[in-house]
Amino acid sequence: MDADPSPDAGSPEAPIIAMAGLCKRFGAQPVLQGVDLQVRRGEVVAIIGRSGSGKSTLLRCINGLERFDEGSLRVAGEPLRHDDPGALRALRQRVGMIFQSFNLFPHLSVGRNLMLAPALVRGERGPAAEARTRALLTRVGLDEKFDARPDQLSGGQQQRVAIARALAMEPAVLLCDEITSALDPELVGEVLRVVESLAAEGMTLLMVTHEMGFARRVADRVLFMHAGRIHEAGEPASLFEAPQTPELRQFLAALG
């Protein structure tokens, strides 16, 4: 099914992400059950919910890591086409993703980790590429770590390098999948401050997170997922202070 969920998908005012009726199954197990979602350019969306509710799968569908079974999905006006490798590569240049694990190449310096994808995909090499990489490291507060190896960095520093690496491809959308869950509590703040600065700069962000204070402070909209569906959605203040369903009330109560 490749219906266009938005008749004006190519216009600048159109949602940068538009999905309709998105369904995903693992075998006979439904994981996403008819998800409809539109995300505006520059919007910060926090996705919350219990483990197994479909949050990470939703992000992985958006950047093409998972093939959805039914529905339609457009990013920047272009339909996601798994049968077209060129279209998938183009999609992944527009959509950056940061994972729980840092996934840095241990044998490469921090600088080389950042420069690899732009060199392979765009042919960007030489002094200009190095200068741009150093500027990205400055942006995440690691300007002095260009020559360091990943094993010389703390977990928080490694995750900030992973953020800079995603930014190196100049994505239109940044997906963050529980990027602080593998960090010691004292390192969480340094990573969230970088994400908050990206939000302030106007980056479109979709962030699966357990950091409710961050979601309340930074997100324009919060989605609560339950059983593969967007169960509730709204501005942070209304969603956290006046949950409408028993499922969300129970979820928030369990967080203490």
Cβ proximity of 223 and 39 under 8 Å: no
Q: For 48-58, how does the pLDDT look when each residue is reduced to its tens digit (9 = 90+)?
A: 999 999 999 99
- Rounded Cα distance between 45 and 239, Å, is 13
Handedness of CA 253, 218, 31, 7 (dihedral sign): positive
Domain CATH for 149: 3.40.50.300
Measured over all CA atoms, what is the biggest interatomic distance in the chain, rounded to whole angstroms? 57
pLDDT score recorded for residue 1: 39
Residue 210 lies in a domain: yes
Residue 172 lies in a domain: yes
Residue 217 lies in a domain: yes
Q: For 2-59, how does the pLDDT look when each residue is reduced to its tens digit (9 = 90+)?
A: 444 444 545 557 899 999 999 999 999 999 999 999 999 999 999 999 999 999 999 9
- Rounded Cα distance between 28 and 57, Å, is 16
Residue 2 lies in a domain: no
- Domain of residue 76 covers 17-254
Count of domains in the chain? 1
Residue 4 lies in a domain: no
Residue 5 lies in a domain: no
Q: What's the burial of 241, exposed, middle or buried (CB within 10 Å: 0-12/13-18/19+)?
A: exposed
Please list the pLDDT of the chain residue by residue as tens digits (256 residues). Answer: 344 444 454 555 789 999 999 999 999 999 999 999 999 999 999 999 999 999 999 999 999 999 999 999 999 888 888 888 888 888 888 899 999 888 899 999 999 999 999 998 888 889 999 999 999 999 999 999 999 999 999 999 999 999 999 999 999 999 999 999 989 988 999 999 999 999 999 999 999 999 999 999 999 999 999 999 999 999 999 999 999 999 999 999 998 7
What rounded mean pLDDT belongs to the chain?
A: 91
Residue 69 lies in a domain: yes
- Rounded Cα distance between 101 and 177, Å, is 10
Is the whole model's pTM more than 0.95, yes or no?
no
Cβ proximity of 228 and 31 under 8 Å: yes
Cβ proximity of 98 and 176 under 8 Å: yes
Residue 229 lies in a domain: yes
